[in-house]
Each structure stands twice: as structure tokens, then as C-alpha cells.
Amino acid sequence: MLNIYESLGLKPINTINNKFLTKSISKHFKCSNVYNFNSILCLFSNCNLSGKTLNNTNQLIKVIKKKKKVHINGYIYKCVIKYKNKYLYKSLFIKEIPIINPLNLNIGLDDYTLPSYKNYILSEYINSYNSMSNVELLSCYLTSKLYELNISPHFPLFYGYNVVILEKYTAEITNEWLDLNLNMIDFSKCSIINNNNKLYLQRENFPCTTIYMENLSDDLYKYIYKTTKVSEYEWSCYIFQIIASLIIVQKFFNLYHNDLHLSNIMFAPTSKKYMYYKFNNTYFRINTYNKIIKIIDWGRATYSFNGLKGNNSSFNIDGEAFGQFMNKRVNNGGKKKIDFNPSMDLYILGKNLISSNSFPKKGQLRNLVHKWFNNNLSDNESFNMYIKGAKEGIEVPDKQLYDKIFKKFIIDKSLIPYNEKIYSL
């Protein structure tokens, strides 16, 4: 196995380039402060980390102009990036990830003083490797390295990050949440916005991590819902690519996505007709349909490699996914631990696939996908699906390529053009 871990690490920050970046981030995102330090840097070194950052090959240098708002906390910007010694114009996707749970009204930066439970929670959000924002940042960096090192094409490139204090951060809320929390809202620091029948909570002076990522063209959810018919063969090609990506992240990092629905599966356009893979000395040729699948949005991810195990605060009692996994506590002896499950991603993906009108209603592919969730068709739209997936999922990615549905992709190595990259799984 390639020792990818030797390629992970830090690099010095170029002070001149950093001034351009800091100034442009402050301007476009209305930040009162822009920082370079994040606690995950401590995973790579215990030396003085001032003036250091992650050693991604591609680096954002300057944000120039907003091109599109993708969602409430995600934007596409025209930027200047540096790749090796070249400076290039490129459109990047920039995402605001809250460091503190924005719906936890009891926690704010002005609480960070003497020891208390609130300060403990705040410290966990900011400094813990397991905070949701830090796990997503680390996952984006790790998966981008797989792409940079030509191990797997199935992840977007990472262009860097900053920790910022936004003048205003907006989170979507429900009527039910507002009814429960209205009396707790401090309207000197927060406001409620009603826009097109959607409710939003806006918080002031709010800490976020901004991550800078490769801009991708579309997601699988939108593609299949605007395409009248997708054949079983085409579906099989996409699913093979997805399985290949899951095999690789589990192989190197025991990295589980834990929220792999169709909107978190995007693609980049390609002129290549085929991609080639090697698995247990068997070679596969996969039709791309001019799309390279990319997995995004690692906000609920967990990982375990090199003696390092990353839990995720999203599964804490105050997290957005509490109950999906359950850690042992000294006083919950009657409750069974629900550990991170390598089958979780196939379980959630399978439930999403069979809910799609364009997915085959019968045949070998549907039979394969049904096995991922034990033919249990209940709770397809509720959070119970995630809880059941953590408990009941048993199918792991690297066992799926033995299924007969993928035999049609097997070819002799001699038929692969000599200049084609073969991705080893």
C-alpha cells in the first residue's frame, strides 16, 4: 500500500500571498477577523505552528468576485489560485462551516471566560479535533490528497481554509424550533428572517471555518431528476465509481461519510470515455458517461488511522445527528453502544437510490442495492433511517465488486491502452 501518510503535513504560509487572501476574504465575507490557525494542525506537528498551514498543492491566493450563491452558506467565486509556481484564474466553491452550533443559543464567543459547562462546550467546538467543522476540514484535506497523489479521482481538490469571525451568519430553522426557542433569543445578537416562506436565524459576530474547494458542475440528485431515463448499465457505472471511492477512503483512513445521500454525490465533466480500475488482480473498464463522480460534504464523517480515531460532535447530545451513534458513558450501562459502521454509507445510499423514480424497478442492480439495507423499506425519509443504518447495515464496499452485476465491466489487462491510468482499489 502506498504510504500516503508521508505526504500529509504542513507548509510555511507565504506572508505576501496571505495578505492578499486575508484582505479579499475580509472584503467579500464581511469578517472582523481572519485566522490561519486551526487545531487540526496539531495532528501533524507539536512544534511552533505559527505561520504554518496544511500542505495542499493547490492554494487559494485571492477572492475576486462572487459568481453564484449555491445555498445559504455556499458560494461560487472567481479566484486566483496557485498551483506549483503558476498563478491561475479559477472558479472555486467556498463554504461557511459554523464552528459553534448556530442553533445552540446558550453558546457565544462572549461566553469564553471562566470554567463552566458553556465554556467547556465552546472550547470543544473551537479546539477539539472532533468538532464537526474540524472533522469536515480534515476530511476535505485528506480526500483531496488522494486526488493530488493520483490514487483516486473521486474527490474534489482542496484549496485551503481560514477561521473567520463573520459579521453575520445565517442558518435555516423550522417553525417548530422557533416556537420552542423564541423566549431564549437575544435579539441584540440575533434576528429572525422570513424569506420565501423559509425561516432563518441570523447570528452576529459568529465563528466559522471557510473552506475553499474545487467547483463541481452538478450533483447526482439533480441529474437523475431532470433525466427522463437512466439505464441500468449507466446506473451501474455510477455506482461502481461510488463504491470505488468508498473502498479507497476506508482503505487508507477508515473514513466513513455517514450522510451519503444523492445530493452529496457530485461530478466533474470529463472527455474520457472510460476509466480503469484494478481490484484483487481483476481489471474493470467503466464508462464515464462524461462524468467523474466526486464525494462531498464530510460534516458527519468519522475516521480511524495511524492510531488516531476521530469522533464527531454532530453525534453529541447537542449535535444535529444525536442518536445515529452512541458512545458509552459511566452512567448509561443499560444502553448499548452504537459504534461507527463501515456499512453505513451503502445503507443510506441504497435507501436514496430505491426512492428515485429513475432507478431500475427490478433486475440485478436493484437486487444488489436491496442487500445494502436488508430489504427494509421503512423509514426512507426520516432520521430513523440513519439510526437503523448504524445498527443494521452489514454490507461493506469492498465486497460489492464481486457481485455479478459488475462482471460485464471486467476486461483483460492487455486491452487497456498503455497510457491509461489504472486506479488500484
pLDDT digits (tens, 9 = 90+) for 250-302: 999 999 999 999 999 999 999 999 999 999 999 999 999 999 999 999 988 99
Which pLDDT score is estimated for 73? 95
**Residue predicted with more confidence, 84 or 115:** 84
What 3-state DSSP class applies to 339?
Answer: coil
Which pLDDT score is estimated for 394? 79
Average pLDDT of the residues in 336-354: 84
CB contact at 8 A, 66 and 77? yes
Question: Which alpha helices (DSSP H) does 184-319 contain, by range?
Answer: 220-226, 232-253
Residue 394: how many other CB atoms lie within 10 Å: 14
Average pLDDT of the residues in 174-185: 91
Which pLDDT score is estimated for 335? 56
**Residue 379 predicted with pLDDT over 80:** no
Which pLDDT score is estimated for 314? 66
Which pLDDT score is estimated for 330? 43
Residue 23: how many other CB atoms lie within 10 Å: 13
Structural domains in the chain, sorted by start: 4-214 (no CATH), 218-424 (1.10.510.10)
Instruction: Supply the DSSP symbol for 335.
Output: S
**Residue 211 predicted with pLDDT over 50:** yes
Of 154-163, 212-221, 324-333, which one has max mean pLDDT? 154-163
Average pLDDT of the residues in 193-200: 91
For the stretch 222-246, pLDDT in tens is 998 888 789 999 999 999 999 999 9
Per-position DSSP letters for 102-113, written without gaps between them: TT-TT--GGG-S
Band of pLDDT at residue 376, cut at 50, 70 and 90:
low
Radius of gyration of the chain (CA): 22
Band of pLDDT at residue 384, cut at 50, 70 and 90:
low
Rounded percentage of the chain residues whose pLDDT exceeds 70? 85
CB contact at 8 A, 267 and 217? yes
Spatial separation of the C-alpha atoms in residues 134 and 300, rounded to whole Å: 11
Average pLDDT of the residues in 3-17: 93
Rounded percentage of the chain residues whose pLDDT exceeds 90? 64
Band of pLDDT at residue 320, cut at 50, 70 and 90:
low
Band of pLDDT at residue 316, cut at 50, 70 and 90:
low
What 3-state DSSP class applies to 360?
Answer: coil
Which contiguous run of DSSP H or E holds residue 424?
strand 422-424
Task: Using CB atoms within 10 Å of the CB of residue 273, give its burial: 0 to 12 exposed, 13 to 18 middle, 19+ buried.
Answer: exposed
Least confident interval from 33-42, 117-126, 191-200, 378-387: 378-387
Kindly report the CA angle at 183 between 180 and 187, in degrees rounded to 5? Answer: 120
Which contiguous run of DSSP H or E holds residue 284?
strand 282-287
Distances (CA, A) of 406 to 106, 237, 283, 364: 52, 9, 11, 10
Kindly report the CA angle at 247 between 360 and 297, in degrees rounded to 5? Answer: 80
**Residue predicted with more confidence, 218 or 55:** 55
Which pLDDT score is estimated for 228? 75
Average pLDDT of the residues in 125-132: 83
Which pLDDT score is estimated for 338? 62
Which pLDDT score is estimated for 97? 95
Per-position DSSP letters for 41-90, written without gaps between them: GGGT-SS--TTEEE--SEEEEEEEEEEEEEETTEEEEEEEEEETTEEEEE
Band of pLDDT at residue 150, cut at 50, 70 and 90:
very high
Which pLDDT score is estimated for 317? 62
